[in-house]
Amino acid sequence: MSRILITGGAGFIGSHVADLLVVKGHDVAVVDNLSTGRREFVPPEAQFFRYDIKSSHASELILDWRPQIIIHHAAQMSVQVSLGNPVLDAQDNILGSLNILQAATRVQVRKFIFASTGGAMYGDAAPIPAREKDTPRPESPYGIAKMAVEHYLHFYHRQHGIVPVSLRYANVYGPRQNGLGEAGVVAIFIEKFLQGQQPVINGDGLQTRDFTYVGDIAAANLLALAYPEAGTFNIGTGRETDILTIYQHLQKLTASPLGPQHGPAKPGEQRRSSLNADLARKKLGWEPQMNLEEGLAHTVAAFKHR
Ligand code: NAD
């Protein structure tokens, strides 16, 4: 059993990772400033510290608590916010990450797992589904910051011996998600349907994403803990689903009579996205378990009970 610090562990994905690690018997601490996360998402067995990852409180905590492993999920996670405010994005996503990494080297953590992006990493020119060896061409400051941290991880690996694993998530959906993230559309549509309002589809709704269930993402983190080497892995289903299809599934699951309504397309929005996860399959033994229909049903049920 290991001492594991999870940054962003009060957030959507981080809290599912925290839940799983607690169940597996690890000693877990969470650092989160609750900017989008919620205290009640943190499992009661985990210690909680309300600190900003950019602060000396967070770095001093690492020196005191001495985690063996850090799982880094805290981030400004909105692509839209990053487009409007690249400086703010870089402060959290680059400088915040460096603050955590600097402290991590001082206590010589043996593993550093990083919540990177596949959805916002490859850009429109990459083949579908994208592989890790395809050239990243991130189209947003958010994606650029994630790519920069992956490069920093390489530096910390070479210079300081930290073993990094970057997990390039596809568009993650599931219970506890909010409308801000890369698969935010699922949460936005469910909330609208449950309030009896009609969600608006941006553009024709035929833009695609690789929707991956949060339980499968948490499982990838668990497998990454056991992986002995440094690595960068796509974590996605390889399946493209368009927004209109998501709309139709959610309309059915919420028994809404409201058919699709289209608004203007978002300028610059990526048209297609999907990740080839063969490398994660081969090296981590990861395989997505949840199919989309079932995962959406779980998500709707969780939102109803909120
Ligand atoms: P989230 O907003 O639910 O989680 C982020 C957490 O980090 C929140 O609890 C928030 O309060 C915390 N946080 C933000 N800034 C902080 C700061 N400066 N200091 C301390 N805590 C801070 O979002 P999420 O969807 O769970 O994303 C988790 C990670 O996964 C992020 O790094 C995100 O970029 C990455 N990711 C998410 C998706 C997706 O589809 N949701 C896809 C690819 C990558």
| Co-location of 198 and 56 in the same domain | no
Same domain as 146, residue 89: yes
* Structural contact between residues 161 and 167, judged by C-beta atoms closer than 8 angstroms: no
Task: Report residue 250's pLDDT band, with 50, 70 and 90 as the boundaries.
Answer: very high
Domain span at residue 269 reads 182-207+240-273+295-305
| 185-243 pLDDT tens trace | 999 999 999 999 999 999 999 999 999 999 999 999 999 999 999 999 999 999 999 99
Residues with catalytic roles: 142
| Alpha carbon distance 295, 211 (integer Å) | 10
Residue 53 has pLDDT above 70, yes or no: yes
Q: How confident is the model at residue 269 (pLDDT cuts 50, 70, 90)?
A: confident
Calculate how far, in angstroms, residue 93's C-alpha sits from the geometric centre of ligand 1. 10
**Quick one: what percent of the chain has pLDDT higher than 90?**
94
Give the max Cα distance, the chain: 58
Q: Pick the atom of ligand 1 nearest to 55's CA.
A: 19
Residue % of the chain over a pLDDT of 70: 99
Residue 176 lies in a domain: no
* Total residue count of the chain as it appears in this document: 306
Q: What is the CATH number of the domain that holds 16?
A: 3.40.50.720
**Please, is 226 exposed, middle or buried when counting C-beta atoms within 10 Å of its C-beta (0-12, 13-18, 19+)?**
exposed
Do 132 and 201 lie in one domain? The reply is: no
Q: What is the CB < 6 Å shell around ligand 1?
A: 8, 10-14, 32-37, 52-54, 73-77, 92, 96, 115, 117, 119, 169, 171-172, 178, 181-183
CA of 180 to the centre of ligand 1 (A): 10
Mutate which of 57, 77, 217 for ligand 1? The one with the most ligand atoms within 8 Å of its CB, which is 77
Rounded CA-CA distance 193/185 in Å is 12
* Ligand 1 atom nearest to 13, measured from its CA: 26
